[in-house]
Amino acid sequence: MTNRIEQCVILCGGLGSRLGELTRTTPKPLLPIGERPFLDILLAEMGRQGFRKILLLAAFESEQIREFARTSPAAAQFGLTVSVTVEPDRAGTGGALWHARDLLDDEFLLFNGDSWFDVLLADVAGLLQADVNAIGALTLRAVPDASRFGTVELDGNTVTRFATRPDRAGPGMVNGGVYAFRKSLIERLQPSCSLENDVLPQLASEGRLHGREASGFFLDIGVPESYAEAQTVIPKQLRRPALFLDRDGVLNHDTGHVGTPERFEWIEGARETVRRANQAGYYVFLVTNQAGIARGYYSEDDYHHLYRHIGAQLLEAGAHLDDMRYSPYHPDAAVEQYRLASDWRKPGSGMLLDLLQRWPVDTDHSFMIGDNDTDIAAATGAQIKGYLFPGGNLLDFVLNQTPLGKSLAEARQ
Surface-to-core class of residue 3, CB atoms within 10 Å of its CB (0-12 exposed, 13-18 middle, 19+ buried): exposed
Residue 152 predicted with pLDDT over 80: yes
Count: domains in the chain: 2
Taking all residues of the chain, what is their mean pLDDT, rounded to a whole number?
Answer: 93
Catalytic site includes residue 123: no
Q: Say which CATH number the domain at 149 has.
A: 3.90.550.10
How many Å apart are CA 123 and CA 256, to the nearest integer?
34
Looking at 114, 248, 323, 371, which residue is catalytic?
A: 248
134 and 207 Cβ atoms separated by less than 8 Å? no
Over range 155-177, report the average pLDDT: 81
Quick one: which H or E segment has residue 68? helix 62-71
Q: What is the pLDDT at residue 145? A: 80
User: Within this chain, do residues 278 and 345 fall inside the same structural domain, yes or no?
Assistant: yes
Last residue of some domain: 209, 236, 263? 236
What is the C-alpha to C-alpha distance for residues 191 and 206, in angstroms, rounded to an integer? 22
Q: What is the pLDDT of residue 90?
A: 80
Helical segments of 115-173, H only: 121-129
Residues 75, 45 contacting (CB under 8 angstroms): no
Query: Final residue of a domain: which of 205, 236, 267?
Result: 236
Which one of 40, 114, 123, 246 is the catalytic residue?
A: 246
* Alpha-carbon span 160 to 171, nearest angstrom: 18
DSSP state of 267: P
Q: Which of 212, 236, 260 is the last residue of a domain?
A: 236
* Residue 239, CA distances (Å) to 178, 212, 276 in order: 22, 26, 18
Identify whether residues 57 and 122 lie together within a single domain.
Answer: yes
What is each CA distance from 90 to 15, 85, 94, 189, 218, in whole angstroms? 10, 13, 11, 15, 27
Residue 44 pLDDT more than 50?
yes
- This prediction's pTM: 0.92
Are residues 345 and 296 part of one domain? yes
Calculate mean pLDDT across residues 343-347: 97
pLDDT of 406 reads 77
Residue 197 DSSP symbol: I
* pLDDT tens column, 310-344: 999 999 999 999 999 999 999 999 999 999 999 99
| 323 occurs within a structural domain | yes
**Start-to-end Cα distance in the chain:** 29
- The pLDDT tens digits for 3-25 are 589 999 999 988 778 888 889 99
Measured CA to CA, the distance from residue 124 to residue 212 in angstroms comes to 8
Query: Active-site residue 131, yes or no?
Result: no
Neighbours of 410 (CB within 10 A): 9
Domain carrying residue 100: 7-236
pLDDT recorded at residue 2? 44
